[in-house]
Amino acid sequence: ARKNREISGLQRQIDDVPSRAELNQYQCRFIELHNQVSWKHKETKQYFALYNTLEDTRMYINKEVNLLNSIHDNFERAMQSESQRTAFMKQLDQIVDGVKQSKIKVERKKQDLKMTLSELQDKLNEVLDRQRLYFKTVKDFQDECKKNELLQMKLQQLTSA
């Protein structure tokens, strides 16, 4: 009875260690899960980017509408006298300067984003190169493990014969 308990205990310990096939299944499943999570994350980031772009567009359109309404409202009054016309023209010049500054600011932001994109693209290429090397190394390691198992079986056959 004692030996049976020891044997069953040892068998449970052996069963607790996953086989190579189980490890491969776990690895495949983890890769599948990782791909699903990555895809969902990418999709979410795209939605955020779309929302931010649309929100910026809405903000600029609202500013443009407010600006045009302001010009329209003040135009009639400005044309009544020479001094009001001059003040109106100065106001328009200030508005044009503000629009130009906004344009410059947006163009700078665009350039910064292009630079960031370029840097991220370089990093991505580096990571992809590392990933290729990793997969090649894993495949080489698996091939060597198979060779090792074959050699161990041959050695076991030779020693038992």
Looking at residue 76, what is its pLDDT? 83
Looking at residue 129, what is its pLDDT? 98
Looking at residue 143, what is its pLDDT? 97
- Would you tell me how many other CB atoms lie within 10 Å of the CB of residue 84? 13
- Report the chain's mean pLDDT, rounded to a whole number: 93
- Give the pLDDT confidence of 36-46 residue by residue, as tens digits: 999 999 999 99
Of all residues in the chain, what percent carry a pLDDT higher than 70?
99
Looking at residue 155, what is its pLDDT? 92
More reliable by pLDDT, 46 or 13: 46
- Give the pLDDT confidence of 47-80 residue by residue, as tens digits: 999 999 999 999 999 999 998 998 888 888 888 8
CA distance 149 to 142: 10
Looking at residue 128, what is its pLDDT? 98
Looking at residue 51, what is its pLDDT? 98
For 18, which DSSP code? P
CA distance 158 to 156: 5
- Give the pLDDT confidence of 70-113 residue by residue, as tens digits: 888 888 888 888 888 898 899 899 989 999 999 999 999 999 99
Taken in order 82, 86, 89, 91, the sign of the CA dihedral is negative
Q: For the full predicted model, state whether its pTM sits above 0.75.
A: no
Report yes or no: 91 and 75 within 8 Å, Cβ to Cβ.
no
